Amino acid sequence: MLDWCFGARRVRQMQRAFRHGKITLLCLLMTVVVLRGTIGAGKFGTPEQDFIEIREHFNNRKRVEPHRVLEEAEVSTESSESNNYATFDISKLTVDEGEDEKPDPNKPYSLGPKISDWDEQRAEWLRKNPNFPNFIGPNKPRVLLVTGSSPKPCENPVGDHYLLKAIKNKIDYCRLHGIEIFYNMALLDAEMAGFWAKLPLIRKLLLSHPEIEFLWWMDSDAMFTDMAFEVPWERYKDHNFVMHGWNEMVYDQKNWIGLNTGSFLLRNCQWALDILDAWAPMGPKGKIRTEAGKILTRELKDRPVFEADDQSAMVYLLATQRDNWGDKVYLESAYYLHGYWGILVDRYEEMIENYHPGLGDHRWPLVTHFVGCKPCGKFGDYPVERCLKQMDRAFNFGDNQILQIYGFTHKSLGSRRVKRTRNDTSNPLEVKDNLGLLHPAFKAVKVTNRLLSWNEMGWNRKNANL
């Protein structure tokens, strides 16, 4: 009860001021009782839990009473003059005036005007703009990595910090591999909010950027954990759509996790516009998405009951229309274009011990995707502590490959702090660059199994503090 002692000291001061010495003890007792009642702890948690529950108490009330935001805005002048961020209520800033245009219920949803000659339009543009070739090297297409997050702050305060780490991680990989980044923070189509928002965004970007050959969609909760792995672009020369997945699970089992739409490659072509049109119809918010969800849960293996999501819809589309799309879809399982965090994050130490960056597969995954952690939401499907701890580990695992270029490493996979791994020299350009990470852009990184393991390269337990 250390905390109530703090309180007690304050209380005694108050009493002297109020000259009510006699009832001190009674009040102290009842204060504890009333405090616990007021803040709605219910159970007798730790003081920290109580404090959090107070925050919840206020937050929830604020959410269920939107009109309060206005009241606060009006009475905010006084507190708005404070320079203290901790005492500032962000909701005072929320300016989301204006409704989104209501869609016409009579006409079916469409991502945009029908386009059937995109390949011709794009080819002509490329002819006229030789300064913007769609290939920037042999077997090296011009790629735009597209990701994003809500224009609002996360529902939980720490979420934005993990979004920041996730985009820093993507900036690093994309700088090393000559990939451009588009970070979206705008909701372009209110009907397609949520997991479906990527569809109108992707179509818009394909049509605006004919110079882009491949668009790489990546969820905000996915991180690059192999900074040396170059996507085997030439492998996809006859395909338009690359997702991590397995033919059997999608086409035979119709399993809703037979593929993952959190990280995929889409070629800029007419076929891509067509499959986006075929993908979109289950997306519109409300009745359509709800009813479609029932169909998907009924038709797909192991799918829980919830509204239609883009991943299930893609499995359903491919399983039911394989003849239309199958020959141009490449379900990749030879490396982790998407890798489920649950089966990877506890093996990082083993990977460091035995393997090295550049492999991209179970030995050193290209991407670790925190499916179900929802770090920017209020609730995830997994324990929060595990999600955040493992996201830090994944970030540091990838970041160590960046830091080694400059002679640093994280003190451990769980530590934000870094330490030197070598001393600076007066001949910095003579430092060996084992992974070819210093200047790999525009070149596929050649990595053979004869390459030393991360540890043999000097990244032993002592260095990595494992």
Residues in 103-122 at the binding interface with a copy of itself, rule: CB under 8 A: 112-115, 121-122
Instruction: Catalogue the E-assigned strands of 91-164.
Output: 135-137, 140-141, 143-148
Q: Of 39-78, which residues contact a copy of itself (CB under 8 A)? A: 40, 45-49, 51-56, 58-59, 61, 72, 75-76
Decide if 245 contacts 265 (C-beta within 8 A): no
Beta bridge partners of 259: 245
Q: At its nearest, how many Å lie between a copy of itself and the CB of residue 352?
A: 17
The window from 95-103, 255-263, 310-318, 319-327 that contacts a copy of itself (CB under 8 A) reads 95-103
Q: Of 362-401, which residues contact a copy of itself (CB under 8 A)? A: 375, 377-386, 388-389, 392, 399
Q: At its nearest, how many Å lie between a copy of itself and the CB of residue 26?
A: 8
Structure tokens at 37: 């009642």
Q: Of 160-179, which residues contact a copy of itself (CB under 8 A)? A: 160-161, 163-165, 167-168, 171-172, 175
Decide if 176 contacts 439 (C-beta within 8 A): no
Q: At its nearest, how many Å lie between a copy of itself and the CB of residue 259?
A: 25
Q: Of 402-461, which residues contact a copy of itself (CB under 8 A)? A: 403, 405-406, 408, 411-412, 414-419, 424-429, 438-439, 442-443
Kindly list the distances between the CA atom of residue 225 and the CA atoms of 143, 205, 364, 431, in Å, as whole numbers in the listed order.
Answer: 19, 26, 7, 23
Which one, of 60, 46, 10, 52, lies nearest residue 31 by Cα? 10
Q: Of 289-328, which residues contact a copy of itself (CB under 8 A)? A: none
Q: Which is nearer to a copy of itself, 86 or 238 (CB)?
A: 86
Q: Which is nearer to a copy of itself, 357 or 375 (CB)?
A: 375
List the one residue from 142, 209, 254, 267 that touches a copy of itself (CB under 8 A): 209
Can you state the angle between helices 47-64 and 67-75, rounded to 10 degrees? Answer: 100
Beta bridge partners of 419: 409
Q: Which is nearer to a copy of itself, 286 or 377 (CB)?
A: 377
List the one residue from 89, 349, 353, 361 that touches a copy of itself (CB under 8 A): 89
Dmax over Cα atoms in the chain, in whole Å? Answer: 92
Q: Which is nearer to a copy of itself, 42 or 105 (CB)?
A: 42
Distance between CA 251 and CA 246 in Å, rounded? 9
Decide if 370 contacts 169 (C-beta within 8 A): no
Give me the residue label for tokens 């399982």: 333
